[in-house]
Chain A
Amino acid sequence: MNDHIKSNHSISRRQIISAAIAASALSVPAWSVARGFSVNEMILLSAKLTQKSPSLFLPVDAQKMLETYAQRGLIHRLQALLANPESDLELGNEIVASWYSGIAQTLQGSELITYNNALMWRAAPFLHTSANCGDPTNYWALPPPT
């Protein structure tokens, strides 16, 4: 059990996730779930809209995200948005909100795309994914390191 703690403290969950994202980004598959819009294009669009590196978006998450828009019949709006990221503010904002929260909309309601890879956890150094170790005991008594 103590080894578990040690490993959590020496290699943070965020570092592990970052490594996984980096590794997966090297081998982005070219599959497509939606006619006329590929997973690669979804990643490219997401990176443009969020102003983040494409390497932060896992293909598996992008695939799930794309499926929700395909289900809602919004592929043509994704295409237009990719061509001009300013063309559809409402959809652009929704895509950004989905990547930050890890939650997308479907015809049936909300759907979790990712929890640990949601961009909100990267918005501030003091935030960490719940249910994963933060730092050594009592770290919460101090402000986060700057």
Chain B
Amino acid sequence: MENTVTTDVVIIGSGVSGALLAHRLAKQGIKVLILEAGKSVERAQAVNTFENALIKVPESAYTQAPQAMFPRTDEPHQWYVQAGPDIFKSTYLKVMGGTTWHWLGTAIRLIPSDFNTQTLFGQGIDWPINYSDLEPYYIEAENELGVSGHSMHDQGSPRQSPYPLPAIAQSYCDQTFIKELAQTPYEVTPTPQARNSVAHDNRPACCGSSSCIPVCPIQAKYDATVHIKKAQAAGAALMTESTAVQLLVGKDQKIEAVRYKRWDQSEGFIKAKQFILACHAIEIPRLLLASKTSTYPQGLSNRSDQVGRNLMDHPVQLSWALSRAPVYPYRGPQSTSGIENMRDGGFRRNRAAFRIEIGNDGWGWPTGAPTSTAQQFARAGLRGKVLDQAIANQASRHIRLASLMEQLPDPENRVSLDLKELDIYGVPRPKLHYRVDDYVQKGLNAAQTVHTEIFGHIRATEIQHKQQYEGAGHIIGTTRMGHNEKSSVVDANLVSHDHTNLMIVGSSVFPTGGTANPTLTIAALSLRASDFLIRQLRLETAVKRVQ
């Protein structure tokens, strides 16, 4: 192999899972190389790109390139080959720092029952680990990401330690919900967020730019560049604009090297003792499947035939209305409160559980307001102060709820390769089969009912429900973990059942979607995996010394 570099550990992907692992390993003196398909992002440029974009979607702050294609919310067929029957609507980024550039920052833990839905409700599949296995790592993850939260609200996830930062204040809009729902079953609690409530970790406190998605202009919101930089400071190497196109297997079934392509189409190889896939739940199965050989005709790490299967999201029921009095949205983080006490119960036998996110972004998500509001009143012939007052009066009362459904694993919901559609490097584009089943649909229907009831309690008017689910931006499943090598891709330590020096991190290993936004769990699992890997590498070193 010409043009080969050698390292101890190569991590493919620089999002939150790869960044945390890289930092932990590099701190131990382990030689780490991070391979990132995309470019580094210049924050001010991203803000500028967002401002100049006609269509304001999560990706509109970032520039696509043929060498690092990523899906766009407004063009679901552009990168994904959508095989139906439903459209998969969630997206990811290929830039240094990954999709944390445009995440909301919500840092909620799973609840204990999320790990055992098969045992408790006869639905989904149990995780090979329990909440108690992950709890210490949730604490570490909250510390690493800098989560602001109210420790008195555990939201169904028992805590052994307080949040590292004081809570972000609940919005003026939230306070309407808190007050009006006080005597109802709906408990409005402050959302834990990886967003600085005070200056922390050389990053400033949030200034309420209302643009967590697509970009925080001042990095008050955590993104994975934080730990990429820390990893580099600890000695890790970073190669951007370098796309992994194939994993090569040695005779001992261990991964021997990764072949990658630079943006100029030149090629290189990286040899390592340990390979970690951290490039999210579409690109991980894509790479494994594209690395097939005559010895591994189903792709790598795929003896179980589970690679790419069980693609999940948190399909969203979106509803919006007008509050009775002004609540002044379009200010602050896009969400600061939620209703978390709808996430568990016997109903999970029959329909999807959900958490309810209360938005501070008015009707921005469902209608594109305030732009659409201004257009509507202007086209109706209003002018001058009358127009201004109409916009102010209505936009100040825009409220919205979003309920995120737990989706069950379905082997037919899957990422495969479209052999007719190749990217610039000759690798097949991802083909997605996706269906929202009755379990989720019943959850969406239940959420509509709950939203109507909540809006009724606060005496809101002009209630509207989106008739189609939205994507939550949560791409889950596709290389699930489990004890059984016949029905899962990695074990409980996230090591491939088929290749002992291959780990997979990120939400692709989740056996079920759970009832929380996934990032904190991704981070906790990555930190747990780093502990395991450090022990393994130390053990190997010790064994070699003895030999």
Measuring CB to CB, which residues of chain A are less than 8 angstroms from any residue of chain B? 1-2, 4-5, 8-9, 49-52, 89, 93-94, 96-97, 100-103, 110-112, 115-116, 118-120, 122-124, 126-144
Pairwise interchain contact A123-B207, C-beta atoms closer than 8 A: no
Q: What residues on A are CB-neighbors of B380 within 8 Å?
A: 93
Pairwise interchain contact B169-A143, C-beta atoms closer than 8 A: no
Pairwise interchain contact B51-A94, C-beta atoms closer than 8 A: no
Select one of B171, B205, B378 contacting A97, CB under 8 A: B378
Closest to A111 in B: B54
The CB with the most chain B CB atoms within 10 A, among A1, A116, A130, A139, is that of: A130
Q: How far is the CA of A2 from the CA of B223 in the complex (A)?
A: 18
Pairwise interchain contact B332-A139, C-beta atoms closer than 8 A: yes
The CB with the most chain A CB atoms within 10 A, among B168, B374, B379, is that of: B374
Closest to A52 in B: B384
Select one of B53, B171, B202, B395 contacting A140, CB under 8 A: B171
- Asked whether any CB of chain A lies closer than 8 Å to the CB of B172, the reply is yes
Q: What residues on A are CB-neighbors of B374 within 8 Å?
A: 97, 100-101, 118-120, 123
Q: What residues on A are CB-neighbors of B379 within 8 Å?
A: 93-94, 97
Pairwise interchain contact A110-B54, C-beta atoms closer than 8 A: yes
Q: How far is the CA of A109 from the CA of B61 in the complex (A)?
A: 21
Known contacts A133-B209, A134-B208, A140-B332: A100-B381 contact under CB 8 Å: no
Closest to B211 in A: A131
Known contacts A97-B378, A115-B52: A124-B396 contact under CB 8 Å: yes
Complex interface residues of chain B between 165 and 208 (CB less than 8 A to chain A): 168-172, 175, 197-199, 202-208
Select one of A116, A130, A143 contacting B211, CB under 8 A: A130
Stretch at the interface among B4-12, B386-394, B405-413: B386-394
Stretch at the interface among B116-124, B291-299, B323-331, B510-518: B323-331
Pairwise interchain contact B51-A128, C-beta atoms closer than 8 A: no
Select one of B51, B56, B383 contacting A50, CB under 8 A: B383
Q: Mark B370-386, 1 if CB is under 8 A from A, else 0.
A: 11111100111101110
Pairwise interchain contact A127-B204, C-beta atoms closer than 8 A: no
Q: What residues on B are CB-neighbors of A134 within 8 Å?
A: 207-210, 331-332
Q: What residues on A are CB-neighbors of B198 within 8 Å?
A: 137
Known contacts A5-B205, A96-B387: A132-B217 contact under CB 8 Å: yes
Q: What residues on B are CB-neighbors of A101 within 8 Å?
A: 371-372, 374-375, 378
Q: What residues on B are CB-neighbors of A137 within 8 Å?
A: 169, 197-198, 205-208
Pairwise interchain contact A1-B218, C-beta atoms closer than 8 A: yes
Q: What residues on A are CB-neighbors of B372 within 8 Å?
A: 101
Q: What residues on A are CB-neighbors of B91 within 8 Å?
A: none
Pairwise interchain contact B328-A136, C-beta atoms closer than 8 A: no
Pairwise interchain contact B169-A141, C-beta atoms closer than 8 A: yes
Measuring CB to CB, which residues of chain B are less than 8 angstroms from any residue of chain A? 47, 50-54, 56, 61, 168-172, 175, 197-199, 202-211, 215, 217-219, 326, 328, 330-333, 336, 360, 370-375, 378-381, 383-385, 387-388, 391-392, 395-396
Closest to B368 in A: A101
Closest to B195 in A: A137
Pairwise interchain contact B387-A100, C-beta atoms closer than 8 A: yes
Q: How far is the CA of A123 from the CA of B384 in the complex (A)?
A: 9
| Pairs of residues from A and B, 5 with the lowest C-beta to C-beta distance, nearest first | A140-B332, A51-B384, A124-B392, A133-B207, A97-B378
Pairwise interchain contact A112-B47, C-beta atoms closer than 8 A: no
Q: What residues on B are CB-neighbors of A111 within 8 Å?
A: 54
Known contacts A5-B204, A101-B374, A123-B387: A140-B392 contact under CB 8 Å: no
Known contacts A134-B207, A144-B328: A103-B333 contact under CB 8 Å: no
Pairwise interchain contact A96-B383, C-beta atoms closer than 8 A: yes
Select one of A1, A126, A140 contacting B333, CB under 8 A: A140
Q: What residues on A are CB-neighbors of B331 within 8 Å?
A: 126, 128, 134, 139-140, 144
Q: How far is the CA of A116 from the CA of B197 in the complex (A)?
A: 26
Select one of A50, A94, A135 contacting B207, CB under 8 A: A135
Pairwise interchain contact A139-B208, C-beta atoms closer than 8 A: yes
Pairwise interchain contact B207-A8, C-beta atoms closer than 8 A: yes
Q: What residues on A are CB-neighbors of B197 within 8 Å?
A: 137-138
Closest to B382 in A: A96
Q: What residues on A are CB-neighbors of B205 within 8 Å?
A: 5, 137
Pairwise interchain contact B388-A138, C-beta atoms closer than 8 A: no
Known contacts A93-B381, A138-B168, A140-B171: A127-B395 contact under CB 8 Å: yes
Pairwise interchain contact A143-B381, C-beta atoms closer than 8 A: no
Known contacts A111-B54, A130-B209: A1-B204 contact under CB 8 Å: yes
Pairwise interchain contact A141-B171, C-beta atoms closer than 8 A: yes
Q: List 30 A-B contacts (CB under 8 A).
A: A4-B218, A50-B387, A93-B380, A96-B387, A97-B375, A100-B378, A101-B372, A101-B378, A103-B54, A115-B51, A126-B330, A126-B396, A127-B370, A128-B331, A129-B51, A130-B211, A131-B209, A131-B210, A131-B217, A135-B207, A137-B207, A137-B208, A138-B168, A138-B197, A138-B208, A139-B331, A139-B332, A140-B208, A140-B331, A142-B172
